Amino acid sequence: MKLSVVIVSYNVCHFLEQALLSVRKAAAHLGEPVEVFVVDNHSADSSVAMVRARFPEVVLIENKTNPGFSTANNQALRHARGQYMLLLNPDTVVEEDTFRKCCQFMDEHPEGGGMGVHMLDGQGRFLPESKRGLPTPWVAFYKIFGLAWLLPKSRTFGRYHLGYLSKDQTHEIEVLSGAFMLMRRQALDEVGLLDEDYFMYGEDIDLSYRLTQGGWKNYYYPGTRIIHYKGESTRRTSINYVFMFYRAMVIFAGKHFAPGKAGVFSLLLNLAIWLRAGAAVAHRVVAGCAPVLLDAIGVGAGLIALRSVWPEAALAGPAAVPAWVATWLTAAYLSGTYDQPPRLWPIVRGILLGTVALLAVDGFAEAGYAAKTLLLGGSWAAAVMAGWRMAVHAVRHGSVHLHQFRTRRVAIVGSEGESSRVRKLLRQAGAPVYVVGHVSPTQVSPGELGTVSELQALIRHYRVDELVFCGQDLTSQQIMTLMTQLPQRLEVAYRILAQGSEYIVGSSSRVSPGDYYAPEQAATTYSPAPDMSVLVRCFRWLGWVPEANNAPRD
């Protein structure tokens, strides 16, 4: 057995399917026996059923719990028989010649214990973690406090991602990425498998370090590429990620550094954990409170202006304005005004409820509040809260109607037959897109926009927002080449429909979760959030309100 491929999956069914389809093609091009393992860590989606139905050649290990990344990989590695072992993430796409080139490279470098390759994100940008240095205390310090980001090419400050080494040349490196980690079986037999003290993150650094300590070399090889959709199995921008990653680094320091160095490293990392976690919390609080603050400022300013231009308005007392504002915003929150996407009716409903509550307050008349003033204030509150949301929506989607989203312009790169299939899948997904046409991979025919050689000009001319590549008509290598050749300034999102698949997969950011168009549901990017109105949930629990669909509405 030449190669064993191990994929650990958790709730990424559509990306796993695309990964396995690319693995199948790469295995066929290797020309030698390949075995593929999928270890499912108790996914709640249809991953297991999909693997069984579509990939009978895959050895499926179905866990009843989630034991973590290291343990799951080791489950398969203990059964693997290949001369080389490849740990591959489920949110990846490999080129057709990836396995052949990597095995050939390792055959030619018998001192090599492990290797990584040139990785691209879903937008065709180079991922710097394709090559990494050992996170010693100072290297970690430079990364944690932003010096590595400020001076990425520096040999002193840029050691974490080895930014001073060309991404287009082969290099000996210290740390491999767990997204694509090909290792020699002999080396693993000598240094051991993944350390199961790591639940997720850090295990690739630990194993890479043990390989070098065991006398083996790790290589970065740019002769082949893979796509790695970042953030699928775990939300990398989450607070949970911050704690998991940096805690893994603390474990690594305790295992491999001298007590003095480990102490400094742990101190820096613990400081970084709380700084990063604090920043993440602050960002979420600010982002979550921004609509509330805008509403409070807008409504409050209107009430103050009302009192200024209409002295007889019944707004006596310094507490009147904040009391009214607080009542309306609380009612608006309970009504679901701050759910996503924003809708008009929850705003109106919340203001009405708040107004009724204020009118019902005991001693209202004695306090000097007049119903006319209250109704004017409530009208202003509803107008300003709806107005700025409609303005923002108009800028983003070209319509003031909150239920209408901007139609994204899509071009399909593929044959006429696959183009028709893409159109059908987009309709079934309910995606808010307009297909401008399809681009031929070879010669242009009547009804086509042009050929791939004209792609850049076609994107500009037809104002394309998204490109869908058809895997039946283009190889993974051709798709990656097009993604890297098109200028980033075009700001086009790339998606791939793999051969025989029904899921159009892509990712518009190197750190955000990927997204997809699926026939059984609207695309994750555009799916409306469920109605999280506190009042609605309470009433449903009491049986007063029937279950409703989540279709966007005003």
Kind of pairing, strands 408-413 and 466-470? parallel
List the beta bridge partners of residue 85.
Answer: 4, 183
State residue 1's pLDDT score: 93
Phi, psi of 471 (to 5 degrees): -70, -20
Contact at 8 Å (CB) between 187 and 53? no
Grouping H, G, I as helix, E, B as strand and the rest as coil, residue 345 is: helix
- pTM, 2 dp: 0.76
Distance between CA atoms of 234 and 213, rounded to whole angstroms?
30
- 347 alpha carbon, distance to own chain's centre: 30
Please name the residues in contact with 506: beta carbons below 8 A apart, sequence gap of 6 or more.
122, 229, 466, 493, 494, 495, 496, 514, 515, 516
Contact at 8 Å (CB) between 232 and 513? yes
Distance between CA atoms of 171 and 58, rounded to whole angstroms?
33
- Nearest one of 396, 403, 467 to 435, comparing CA atoms: 467
- Nearest one of 1, 197, 200, 188 to 113, comparing CA atoms: 188
512 exposure class (CB count in 10 Å sphere: 0-12, 13-18, 19+): middle
In eight-state DSSP terms, residue 33 is -
Cis amide linkage into residue 341, ω under 30° from 0: yes
What are the E-state strand segments in 112-156? Answer: 112-120
State residue 349's pLDDT score: 93
SS3 for 422-440 is HHHHHHHHCCCEEEEEEEE
Q: What angle do CA 522, 527, 533 make, to 5 degrees?
A: 140
State residue 191's pLDDT score: 95
Contact at 8 Å (CB) between 229 and 121? yes
- How far CA 59 is from CA of 9, 44, 88, in Å, comes to 13, 19, 15
- Encoding tokens for residue 220? 């970065």
What does the longest C-alpha to C-alpha distance in the chain come to?
92
Q: What angle do CA 211, 251, 89 make, to 5 degrees?
A: 60
- 411 alpha carbon, distance to own chain's centre: 23
Q: What is the pLDDT along the chain (554 residues), one digit of tens a residue?
A: 999 999 999 999 999 999 999 999 999 999 999 999 999 999 999 999 999 999 999 999 999 999 988 999 999 999 999 999 999 999 999 999 999 999 999 999 999 999 999 999 999 999 999 999 987 777 877 776 778 888 989 988 988 899 999 999 999 999 999 999 999 999 999 999 998 876 667 788 889 999 999 999 999 999 999 999 874 333 444 556 666 666 666 777 667 666 666 666 667 667 766 776 677 677 767 777 889 999 999 999 988 887 777 665 555 556 778 888 999 999 999 988 888 788 899 999 999 999 888 887 744 444 445 677 788 888 999 999 999 999 998 887 777 887 777 788 999 999 999 999 999 999 998 888 999 999 999 877 788 899 999 999 999 999 999 999 999 999 999 999 999 999 888 889 999 999 999 999 987 654 444 577 777 543 344 333 444 444 454 544 444 444 433 333 34
State residue 543's pLDDT score: 41
Kind of pairing, strands 92-94 and 84-88? unpaired
Other C-beta atoms within 10 Å of 197: how many? 15
> Which residue carries 């699928």 as its tokens?
232
Distance between CA atoms of 334 and 353, rounded to whole angstroms?
10
3 exposure class (CB count in 10 Å sphere: 0-12, 13-18, 19+): buried
- Nearest one of 209, 214, 212 to 256, comparing CA atoms: 209
The amino acid that residue 500 corresponds to is: G
Distance between CA atoms of 434 and 409, rounded to whole angstroms?
5
Residue-range domains of the chain with CATH: 3-131+167-234 (3.90.550.10), 285-397 (no CATH), 409-522 (3.40.50)
State residue 280's pLDDT score: 67
Which pairs count as long-range contacts for 97-101, CB under 8 Å and 24+ apart, including other chains? 97/26, 97/29, 97/224, 97/477, 98/26, 98/224, 98/225, 98/226, 99/3, 99/26, 99/27, 99/29, 99/30, 99/34, 100/26, 100/29, 100/30, 100/31, 101/221, 101/223, 101/224
